[in-house]
Amino acid sequence: NHLNLFRQVETKVLWVSITNTQAVYNQTSVGFIDDATEGVDWAYDTPKLNALSDLSLYSFIGTDPYQIQGLPPLTPDRVVPLGINSNYSTEVTFVLDNVSNMENDYIYLEDRDLNIFTDLHSSSYVFQAIDETYTDRFFLHFAPPSVTGVDMTESENSLAAYYFDETLTLVSSGSVEGKVEVLDMSGKLLFTKDQAVITPAGFKINLGEINDGVYIVRVNGDTKSLSQKFVK
């Protein structure tokens, strides 16, 4: 427990971890502190010494990896980039392990490659890692996606996706026109179609036989972007 590094009683601290299917676990911590700076603070910041281990998770000061990082007091526009090193090609699960004085703060994980935001208070996030280092894919946000400028939760439009008998059916609560993309959880593009029109009546895509797993479909229109997971 690194909370003793953060002296102030009302300091906001979060601990987030990743675990792969080989049961390898790694954790990092970020705190928001009255007298911390954006740079290196000897009282709060601890470098990540094993950043290239089999599985590691860290934040950054500049381009350097940190296991524990103290930042100035939290504001809604704060974005914390996260780095991951994986020496495995495997599913990796993000979990918000614990918080201190952040029970009522928004904590969202952005997967920038797949344009997915996950509320870590309410769910974990799983992605398909490959053997590489990720430095510009995952980000922590502290305001809802609509506030950060990514329109994922508009009340007037929602997207549902169903796969059955080699066919993916998309249904929108309102008419949405845009480019449709289907991706697997590693970010590989499986299907794309320009100028598709998604309506409450449904839009069908023949995907052929796909492997069991979780997939992403997104519709990128001129004024809005909708995204949804579906399971085969």
Kindly state the helix (H) or strand (E) to which residue 26 belongs, with its residue range. Answer: strand 25-32
Q: Indicate the pLDDT class of residue 19, thresholds 50, 70 and 90.
A: very high
Can you give the pTM of this predicted structure?
0.67
Q: Name the average pLDDT for the chain.
A: 85
Burial class (CB in 10 A: 0-12, 13-18, 19+), 58: buried
Contact between residue 31 and residue 74 where contact means Cβ atoms under 8 Å apart: no
pLDDT at site 4: 53
Name the pairing type of β-strands 25-32 and 64-71. parallel
pLDDT at 70: 95
pLDDT in tens, 176-196: 888 999 988 888 899 999 999
Summarised one tens digit per residue, pLDDT across range 35-86 is 899 999 988 999 998 888 999 999 999 999 999 999 999 998 899 999 999 9
Amino acid making up residue 122: S
**Secondary structure of residue 17 in the 3-state scheme:** strand
Segment 199-220 mean pLDDT: 84
